[in-house]
Structure 1
């Protein structure tokens, strides 16, 4: 049970009373007893402020000095969270020596060991686990770091900035001193030491400087770093061209580690990465892995300006850096691959993961107003919804206007710790517009409902679009500023020219064959003139705002848009809407004891898409593959106040089987035409071809036709690339056939010594829809290759089972819930961050039937009674509060 919790509120923010101008750190590295010497140049900002209260957790305090005067224990105050010093002078030097135990640090915050190497993770509040400090993002200092270690076991010594000195010491030890010339908060501090190898390249910046680029990893993985290096170079060039941002140090380093709670960390000049987002080659990584590496490399690099050079005033401003930088990496990937496909990928992730978060008990605005444990707010809301809010500025201002706002933001706030208001004001001032209403997106939680009705006036040739916005469950919700991108299509599928009526011309901006409507009120109407016939509306093009659209489309209109809409998102979305309608209709049939019946509208769209592939008419195979895919289960669950999970899973499964059976011939034709073995290349054309081929294989296998099993086995045995291998294996993982199990066993034998690939094997086993799924996952955590100390492995088993193996997890006995609660409580003792992240499926208890609700609540109450960390406690208490 958590003994005591403190709630932090945005309204209570006060600037620090002290400035720490410089930080000189010295580390004497030892696995169980690292000595940290911290010399702080302190300046008092207010004459009456005499108490310097430094954060510190799990530290052994060795000594404290002020201006070389050793303090006795009676000269300072100390408890489990703070060291308080009395500072009488305006300026002084404080020296603090602490001792920490990296080897036993299983929480992976502060300084810890991974694979025998030392590394750090200080965001959000990990620096206080290294030394006593003002651990807050608005305290910006210049850092110099000296690392001393055994040279034979730690030949590589790295920290932030530029290397200024290195040398040997007695007794086989050596040192390296790094200096970072740019002020930064302590959460951006980094240290890495160990036995690492690296690949090196160089980048010629626009200002003519030659920048050294290095990626460090274990020597056996160097061959898997080239894609990451190329991604870094592409990122540097793109940021110069798109946003005029040039890298500022002489060296840029990336280090890949296996044990890491997050994806990566943007520490100034020394990014520490989960190896999942660095290591990739065709034999071990899928197309999705390659894209993930490129996107995360870019994301952390882009943080150099949106996060490092300009940082957050406080942690309530987290979306200032994360939402903005996610938007930047999304734009980068869109330019590198396919803008249309990237946009759909981002929307799918938002609606399948963030929308449920927005409607659940842990819902919060992108700028939280309070928190107990900051680690709990590294969420899809802060990141992905935050990115969508940044995108709103670009939609409202246009790409050029957005760039003007970014230029002013960089010019005005370089070297500062700022707020979301500062960002919004830069956008407004650069474009001379009032954006005050955008503030509501930052402080109101929940996903807005956008209800649209249309009316055609045949006499006056006018077309009216009436919009109404609301946020369910939010009392006195204020209207958001919502840009709604629309188009109108003729009965022949041609885009109509758009002419706003005079009474609303100032709230409509025309872009080619689209119009951006600026909805600023709870209810508002927009009109177009000169419309000769009733049009078919294409609404919320490009998903121009993160809302749930309610519009009463007829099935024939959705079929029409799926074929003719010039907006790629809405072509995909129309097919998805038809699939959703079909699934929900069949859930009702199954509940009444009737058999599954495939809807004619979606069946026609599905066949047309397949025929376009087979006739060579598909302009983008990746878009086609996405359009053929059924909606994610998490998105489908979100369509219900209370879902019949068994009926929905059965309808989803039977719909896929019906499509596979009905269009077996067309699917096989497409599969055979695209199943060409050739050297792997990471480019959008080859990615699209593999995606379409594998979509066909998934439907063929779902048909349960006996002649399809050899296709999947042959694709697996060809071992052409990991993308094809893994899709074949995924389709086989649900089969009880001996040949399928033989492929799973072969995969394990091939890759048992490659951790990232083995994670895929664990994930396949954990997600397999089989009668003994729960028993299988219980066996997996007993497997000799499973370790609770490695977050990737925990996520591949525990996280995958709870999020993806829905039939087994939600079995009516409640055994799946009990097993997950056991894992959470076990991890809560060693790694609270990971424990909190795998808790999420239980927090959505209200979406399920009464019996499952009670079973899930019982486990949440058990966790609440036994939890020891603030991370888990906060999420559980919020979930239970809704139930009371």
Structure 2
């Protein structure tokens, strides 16, 4: 690995490009043994460049340079420099045309960046820096150009030839070959370039825009999957309509295309007019996909479509500004999903991701601001901080400005910057200018890493009929940032009277948004005639941790009465967290755990209360995940944490068996399968009840038979997987029989088998690691397929906290072996597998030493990729 590849890039070093691209004409000659790429590019000196050296430096990797021509003249070898990373020449003129011919091998491209093959089909992934694996080019997002792409291929093996924009020409070439020419009228950076060629079939539909334009919609899949695209197509049309209704944004090409491929490092990619999707984010039927799969597809389809404006028409100046497009578009897809389904459930799902994963990232060695200041490998910054915390930053602006002024800010942003590559500061400026709100201090959310902590105390002054709320904010040190300035934090609060009624009359929904700007600040509420119960941080109005001493009685009251549905769920979650952590503490002290009777009563009351939103009740009944609870411990104890959580779960199962059985029976009539909030809520509640009931097995044979019966009779994958998930937790002959039955039935469907791999990987049984190791040799598993790696290896190492952190260290060694293997074939996926090892300092000395040795083993690997090197190095430095 060269020093250049391990070099740190810094945001402060940004310089405008010396040369801009007016247009680029690409020709791809696709052959089985290789692909020849001819790039004819018109360059011009950038008049905004103040320190032009006259050198044209083009990025390029992993390809053969065939020839270079400057204004038609072939250059000799001594007229340019070529290395493993770039091509450099001195053109000697302000405007010129450069032709670069390269030869690449898509079949051998296991990194899945640039142009590669998936099941015999050609496809591309160019974000963030994959285009440099196709041709030599200024591979940076602030160089925008108009692309014309000609694709030539064998008609039999590649009957479909696709690229960005509109099809302007196609025809025959002879010798069984044909061609297609695509032209994109909108300037774009090369990371948005896309090409797809292969044996695919199209599912067609249309959408009429509000201005009356008919847009052709096409989803391309392998023939075996043609019947699995209806939901994705409906989701696309709903997203197009929503973007017009909410933001006034209309689609701008004649055709919008989606292609589903099995081998893909990401979920999907928003290439202009030609979105390439991981097949798991497109294909679905009630028999093969769960409710969560259907919701996920709807959200991802919307996300990539929304990028047409927030990412494509307006793109990011450099990769440090990644959240400019991703945080904003995640916020937009979250709002879309909230409007399509249950807003409360969507918000809870989004917040759980923040609490379970982003908070952990903020407290570890890879902590970074929403807009990072430095990186070695940009692939490592496609993170929950950039995406999901970035979305929370956008949401806070929406809260501070209000919906109307936020929309004005969006309109101004597009009016100012359409067709440009801009920064997060440009976005905030548009919001501030449109609304008149000062967002200067607020911008610290982009520059400061870490999760702020808000300490809360409240006092009711009876004689003054006044309630005073005192808030104090702080933020712990993170790598490279010791001292933090105060954030501008919107805090949504409510006050409830003894009958559960909102006391802040005149405010929308009884909620008032406070603006915390100082390290310490007090807020006074007059005319409060009785001691209120505080409903704090309603709707999770800011991504902060809260220190608030509320009694169990108060939490139970909020669970029963809070008019903010998110906080009603939060009260249930907090109650569960307190009880589980108290149980863990007793186990650590070798004391007999006892389940608190008041907690049981609160859960029973919740079960008996009429549920207007069954999905919300299902979420309220679930105990916090071990990965989240681990963050609440000064020193993580995986064994007692698992034992404590399981004790609470089994005790609730025994003490509330009648209630759980009633819930199960009341919600067990399926009828026709529907993807509606009501139907999904009913299935979710039923299956949560089943999971609690199954905690009584193996002593309760009737319940085991009930679960096996649900699996056998399930008319949809949601119910089948729920039952199978329960069975995989219990040793015995029936477990193996049902697992074998599921595999036999679905072995031809790779996406369904991913679920089969995952359920075995997250099982708490003692031989889980041995089973996972055996599954590596299963003919349906492949280390070359990112979905399989995530489903088996990722699920065990990130999703099975108890077994992965076995004190033997076997889990750590297993993961390290896989990372070293993946480093040689797909460094991007290898780096993402490293996450469970990064927080090693949170564990006891024995586990710390075991993990540290594995990190050292990784860093000792020859030819270690920059992706893996950066994370492993930072993780060790944190020690």
TM-score normalised to the size of structure 1? 0.97
Out of 367, 372, 375, the position equivalent to 2:379 is 375
Separation (CA, whole Å) in 2 of partners of 1:490 and 1:45: 65
Out of 105, 108, 117, the position equivalent to 2:109 is 105
Separation (CA, whole Å) in 2 of partners of 1:447 and 1:846: 18
Partner of 2:219: 215
Partner of 1:180: 184
Separation (CA, whole Å) in 2 of partners of 1:842 and 1:31: 40
2:517 is the counterpart of 1:517: no
For residues 571-610 of structure 1, give each alpha carbon's deviation from its aligned partner in whole angstroms, at most 9, with x where no partner exists.
1111111111101111111112122211223212210121
Separation (CA, whole Å) in 2 of partners of 1:3 and 1:486: 52
Q: Does the residue aligned with 1:756 lie in a helix, a strand or coil?
A: helix
Q: Does the residue aligned with 1:366 lie in a helix, a strand or coil?
A: coil
1:498-509 matches, within 5 Å, as 498=505
Shift of 1:45: 2.0
Partner of 2:680: 687
2:542 is the counterpart of 1:545: yes
User: Residues 24 and 39 of structure 2 are in contact (CA less than 8 Å); yes or no, is this contact kept in structure 1?
Assistant: yes
Q: Does the residue aligned with 2:283 lie in a helix, a strand or coil?
A: coil
Q: Does the residue aligned with 1:459 lie in a helix, a strand or coil?
A: helix
Shift of 1:412: 1.1
For residues 183-220 of structure 1, give each alpha carbon's deviation from its aligned partner in whole angstroms, at most 9, with x where no partner exists.
00000000000000010000000111000000000011
Separation (CA, whole Å) in 2 of partners of 1:59 and 1:742: 49
1:405-416 matches, within 5 Å, as 405-416=409-420
Separation (CA, whole Å) in 2 of partners of 1:596 and 1:202: 61
User: Residues 206 and 217 of structure 2 are in contact (CA less than 8 Å); yes or no, is this contact kept in structure 1?
Assistant: yes
Partner of 1:871: 867
For residues 97-147 of structure 1, give each alpha carbon's deviation from its aligned partner in whole angstroms, at most 9, with x where no partner exists.
000000000000000000000000000000000000000000000000000
2:663 is the counterpart of 1:662: no
2:873 is the counterpart of 1:880: no
Separation (CA, whole Å) in 2 of partners of 1:388 and 1:110: 31
Separation (CA, whole Å) in 2 of partners of 1:23 and 1:310: 20
Q: Which runs of 4+ in 1 moved over 6 A?
A: none
Q: Does the residue aligned with 1:15 lie in a helix, a strand or coil?
A: coil
Separation (CA, whole Å) in 2 of partners of 1:859 and 1:484: 42
Partner of 2:558: 561
1:835-850 matches, within 5 Å, as 835-850=830-845
Separation (CA, whole Å) in 2 of partners of 1:268 and 1:498: 48
Q: Does the residue aligned with 2:107 lie in a helix, a strand or coil?
A: coil
Partner of 1:235: 239
Out of 764, 768, 771, the position equivalent to 2:759 is 764
Shift of 1:498: 4.9
Separation (CA, whole Å) in 2 of partners of 1:72 and 1:538: 73
Q: Does the residue aligned with 1:247 lie in a helix, a strand or coil?
A: coil
Where structure 2 has 5 or more consecutive residues not aligned to the other structure, the ranges are: none
Report the count of equivalent residues: 869
Where structure 1 has 5 or more consecutive residues not aligned to the other structure, the ranges are: 500-509
Shift of 1:663: 0.7
Partner of 2:31: 30
Partner of 1:505: none
Partner of 2:7: 6
User: Residues 2 and 869 of structure 1 are in contact (CA less than 8 Å); yes or no, is this contact kept in structure 2?
Assistant: no
User: Residues 38 and 131 of structure 1 are in contact (CA less than 8 Å); yes or no, is this contact kept in structure 2?
Assistant: yes
Separation (CA, whole Å) in 2 of partners of 1:706 and 1:471: 51
For residues 389-442 of structure 1, give each alpha carbon's deviation from its aligned partner in whole angstroms, at most 9, with x where no partner exists.
000011101111111111111111111100000000000000112111111000
How has the CA–CA distance of structure 1 residues 478 and 31 changed in structure 2, closer, same or farther, with 3 Å as cutoff? farther
2:691 is the counterpart of 1:698: yes
Partner of 1:535: 532
For residues 657-688 of structure 1, give each alpha carbon's deviation from its aligned partner in whole angstroms, at most 9, with x where no partner exists.
11011111111111012111312111110000
User: Residues 559 and 601 of structure 1 are in contact (CA less than 8 Å); yes or no, is this contact kept in structure 2?
Assistant: no
Separation (CA, whole Å) in 1 of partners of 2:33 and 2:835: 34
Separation (CA, whole Å) in 1 of partners of 2:431 and 2:489: 16
Partner of 2:621: 628
Shift of 1:455: 1.4
Separation (CA, whole Å) in 2 of partners of 1:514 and 1:300: 33
TM-score normalised to the size of structure 2? 0.98
Partner of 1:78: 82
User: Residues 121 and 158 of structure 2 are in contact (CA less than 8 Å); yes or no, is this contact kept in structure 1?
Assistant: yes
User: Residues 26 and 149 of structure 2 are in contact (CA less than 8 Å); yes or no, is this contact kept in structure 1?
Assistant: yes
Q: Does the residue aligned with 2:197 lie in a helix, a strand or coil?
A: strand
Shift of 1:522: 0.9
Out of 345, 351, 354, the position equivalent to 1:347 is 351
Q: Does the residue aligned with 2:624 lie in a helix, a strand or coil?
A: coil
Partner of 1:388: 392
User: Residues 762 and 795 of structure 2 are in contact (CA less than 8 Å); yes or no, is this contact kept in structure 1?
Assistant: yes
1:724-763 matches, within 5 Å, as 724-763=719-758
2:498 is the counterpart of 1:491: yes
Separation (CA, whole Å) in 2 of partners of 1:384 and 1:343: 12
User: Residues 575 and 602 of structure 1 are in contact (CA less than 8 Å); yes or no, is this contact kept in structure 2?
Assistant: no
Partner of 1:306: 310
Separation (CA, whole Å) in 2 of partners of 1:3 and 1:602: 58
Q: Over aligned residue pairs, what C-alpha RMSD do you find? A: 1.1
Separation (CA, whole Å) in 1 of partners of 2:505 and 2:493: 10
User: Residues 2 and 873 of structure 1 are in contact (CA less than 8 Å); yes or no, is this contact kept in structure 2?
Assistant: no
How has the CA–CA distance of structure 1 residues 2 and 681 changed in structure 2, closer, same or farther, with 3 Å as cutoff? farther
Q: Does the residue aligned with 1:429 lie in a helix, a strand or coil?
A: helix
How has the CA–CA distance of structure 1 residues 858 and 296 changed in structure 2, closer, same or farther, with 3 Å as cutoff? same
Out of 137, 140, 143, the position equivalent to 2:144 is 140
Separation (CA, whole Å) in 2 of partners of 1:338 and 1:751: 31
2:342 is the counterpart of 1:338: yes
Shift of 1:497: 2.7
Separation (CA, whole Å) in 2 of partners of 1:805 and 1:77: 50
2:715 is the counterpart of 1:708: no
Shift of 1:702: 1.1
Partner of 1:504: none
Q: Does the residue aligned with 1:811 lie in a helix, a strand or coil?
A: coil
Partner of 2:95: 91
Separation (CA, whole Å) in 2 of partners of 1:621 and 1:23: 54
Separation (CA, whole Å) in 1 of partners of 2:320 and 2:670: 51
Partner of 1:576: 573
Separation (CA, whole Å) in 2 of partners of 1:812 and 1:843: 17
Separation (CA, whole Å) in 1 of partners of 2:836 and 2:504: 47
Partner of 2:807: 812
Separation (CA, whole Å) in 1 of partners of 2:198 and 2:576: 52
Partner of 1:719: 714
Separation (CA, whole Å) in 1 of partners of 2:372 and 2:620: 35
Shift of 1:3: 5.4
